[in-house]
Amino acid sequence: MSADRYLSVMEYKPYSTRGTAPIEQTKGKQQNEEGGFDYEYCTNWSFSPEETITFFVPNYFGYGKMQLKKSGISKAPFEQTYWGQMPFTDAANYMGIFVLGFAFIGIAMYRKDALVQALTVLSVFSVFLSYGKNLPILYDLFFQYVPGFNNFRAPQMALVMIQFAVPILAGYGLKAINDWRTNAQPSTKKGLTIFLAISGGFFLLSLIMPSMVESSYKMAVEGSKKIAPENISAIYDAMASDWMQTGFVMLGAAVLVWLYVAGRLPKSVFVPAIMILLVIDLWRVDYRGFDYKTGKLESVELRKPEFVSYLEQDKSLYRVADFSYLQMGMTNIPAYFLLQNVHGYHSAKMRVYQDLLDVAGKGGGSAIANMFVLNMLNAKYIVAPEPYFPGIEPVHQSNIELENGMGMPSIVYKNPQVLPRAFFVKSTQVASKIDILHHLRDGDFNPREVAFTEEKIPVAIDTAVNDAKANVSQFENHKIVIQTENKGNNLLFVSEVHYPVGWKAYIDGQETPVYKTNFAFRSVVVPPGKHTVEFRYRSENFEMGKTVSLSLNIGVLLLLALGIFIEVRKPKATA
């Protein structure tokens, strides 16, 4: 039913950083040829068995970023409070204390039901798998033998399965509670007694345990070396308060269940009361770390800076190299203003572009500080908080200002040596991938004179004369049109990332081969004369997936409608 997404991902993966190894390995992030990471990297976010307690006391290991209550401070800043085994985390895996309790009731009372059995096994399996390196006997089987499993670096993501299963099992628990009310069987009294006893026991623990473990708890937090000493007491206080609140929520649910089963609370009151208690329980946990900003997004994070207005006056086709937003950790913001930025964050970049960043970018793998590469990328403007490249004069100066007090100077530099988006090249040379990257890194060739390919182009290429023309007449996400005029069989270099799946080239409507050029870019051979060169993108996997997904979703809805129709038409049973 989600074939459109999955088939597209499968098509893209081999060309992404999650589907193939980098051309130069980085220590601590080793990848194999299929893009799988090494064991240490993949198990950084392994859920520890001790942290299973966060199902019951969400604050036990801290809770990501929180505002710690401190004397003398009216509004404390958000601080990282997690002190568990993982490098960091933003929230606990809390599903609701009595939701978990109802799930146990559902498992116990409907243990012979096939769906309950399956959901129970799924829950246990997901917890064990999430332990990652803490339970290698299971995790290593998947890491070593399940295809694609080593592309993921967070074993705790497996907990999504228990978070899916537990609410359904809790629904079975509610059904069992309703049965207890209507069927006064011996098993009813026994089940209710056990539930009330466990709930009461948990409540008593919430009152006495925090004080009993205070010393050892603070020593454990200090031993983690993740928390500043002055924050340890505040983290303990938050945990103790959280445990007590959770105990009261569980006690409240137990009282509601007892009153309902005993017939002292009508269903019309019990169900809303349980729902309200659930919202209170989850809301008190979920709002933690919620550092929200008031006002419209457009006037806070996405307020248009002056430099964007300046650049919008230039109606030509170009890219920018933004360093101001990059330094602020907001590297994708320029895209909101429809600027074609050479920088930007993506968790699964195209491998050729990431290799270009890593080897030739000279910016630490996250930026391009190599003027030679910026020229080839058609970076006509550079936006930076300070001079980055000597000899380039600024053409505009302003500031990026945000309502939260953050800001950064934005100085616009116009690059006088920028290369156009498409141009003819006089000759080609064959070189290895790494050698081409080194040429780009060192800037030891003239891109208009020579282009590097990894394999010999199988057609004869003439030397392009200086008056050969290539003008981009149409530029869209899925279509690029270039008008050319040249006197020989010439190579047209196009400063667009090479992606062989989906992108096809046409000269006057006839398909022509696309060649991987200068490691990350594309080129085509254009015959003499005036021509229209088109690049069009069409993913056959997406189109097929869209058809399959749409068909199956319609089918499921029709089956649902049929099921409802049959159920409605069934004859009513008579007493």
CA neighbor of 397 nearest in space, from 384, 409, 411? 411
Q: How far apart are CA 132 and CA 42, in angstroms?
A: 9
Q: What is the mean pLDDT of residues 270-278?
A: 95
Looking at per-residue pLDDT, the higher value among 271 and 41 belongs to: 271
> Does 518 have pLDDT greater than 50?
yes
Q: What is the DSSP letter of 302?
A: T
Q: How far apart are CA 553 and CA 551, in angstroms?
A: 6
**Mean per-residue pLDDT of the chain:** 91
pLDDT reported for residue 570 = 84
Specify whether the CB–CB gap between 374 and 365 falls below 8 A.
no
Task: Please list, in sequence order, all residues whose beta carbon lies within 8 angstroms of the beta carbon of residue 243, skipping any fewer than 6 positions away.
Answer: 57, 59, 60, 206, 209, 210
521-526 and 407-414 strand pairing:
unpaired
515-517 and 510-512 strand pairing:
unpaired
Q: How many H helices and E strands in the chain?
A: 17, 17
3 state DSSP class of 383: strand
pLDDT reported for residue 405 = 63
Q: Is 89 left (phi over 0), alpha (psi -120 to 50) or beta?
A: beta
Q: What angle do CA 262, 265, 266 make, to 5 degrees?
A: 115
CA neighbor of 487 nearest in space, from 469, 513, 499? 469
Query: Residue 149 — pLDDT band, cuts 50, 70, 90?
Result: confident
Q: What is the mean pLDDT of residues 299-325?
A: 91
Q: What is the mean pLDDT of residues 63-87?
A: 80
- Terminal Cα distance for the chain, rounded: 42
CB contact burial 126-157 (16+ within 10 A = b; e otherwise) = bbbbbbbbbbeeebeeebeeeeeebbebbbbe
Q: How far apart are CA 243 and CA 59, in angstroms?
A: 8
3 state DSSP class of 322: strand
Give the tens place of pLDDT for each residue, 397-442.
998 877 666 678 899 999 999 999 999 999 999 999 999 999 999 9
Task: Please list, in sequence order, all residues whose beta carbon lies within 8 angstroms of the beta carbon of residue 383, skipping any fewer than 6 positions away.
Answer: 307, 320, 321, 322, 323, 324, 325, 410, 411, 412, 413
Give the tens place of pLDDT for each residue, 433-477.
999 999 999 999 999 999 999 999 999 999 988 889 999 999 999
Specify whether the CB–CB gap between 378 and 421 falls below 8 A.
yes
CA neighbor of 424 nearest in space, from 459, 374, 457, 462? 462
Give the tens place of pLDDT for each residue, 88-123.
888 889 999 999 999 999 999 999 999 999 999 999
Strand partners, 341: 320
Q: How far apart are CA 550 and CA 554, in angstroms?
A: 6
pLDDT reported for residue 183 = 79
515-517 and 521-526 strand pairing:
antiparallel
CA neighbor of 520 nearest in space, from 342, 382, 319? 342
> How many other CB atoms sit within 10 Å of the CB of residue 264?
10
Q: Which residue has the tokens 């006495």?
A: 208
Give the tens place of pLDDT for each residue, 476-517.
999 999 999 999 999 999 999 999 999 999 999 999 999 999
* Count of residues in the chain: 575
Query: Residue 72 — pLDDT band, cuts 50, 70, 90?
Result: low
State residue 44 phi and psi, 5-degree precision: -60, -40
Strand partners, 78: 67
- Output the CA–CA distances (angstroms, integers) from residue 291 to 76, 286, 404, 476, in the order listed: 12, 11, 12, 37
Give the tens place of pLDDT for each residue, 164-222.
999 999 999 999 999 888 876 666 678 888 999 999 999 999 999 989 999 999 999 99
pLDDT reported for residue 575 = 47
Q: What is the mean pLDDT of residues 538-550?
A: 94
Amino acid identity, position 289 = G
> Does 18 have pLDDT greater than 90?
no
3 state DSSP class of 458: coil
Structure tokens at 374: 């910026």
Task: Please list, in sequence order, all residues whose beta carbon lies within 8 angstroms of the beta carbon of residue 292, skipping any fewer than 6 positions away.
Answer: none
Structure tokens at 268: 């019309």
CA neighbor of 538 nearest in space, from 5, 13, 8, 1? 8
Rank 22-31, 126-135, 180-189, 461-470 by mean pLDDT and report only the highest.
126-135
Task: Please list, in sequence order, all residues whose beta carbon lies within 8 angstroms of the beta carbon of residue 320, skipping any fewer than 6 positions away.
Answer: 311, 334, 339, 340, 341, 342, 379, 380, 381, 382, 383
Q: Which residue has the tokens 């058809």?
A: 547
The residues spanned by each domain of the chain are 37-286, 306-414, 422-537
Specify whether the CB–CB gap between 106 and 170 falls below 8 A.
yes
Q: What is the mean pLDDT of residues 353-371?
A: 94
Q: How far apart are CA 535 and CA 469, in angstroms?
A: 17
E strands of 503-566, at which residues?
503-507, 510-512, 515-517, 521-526, 529-537
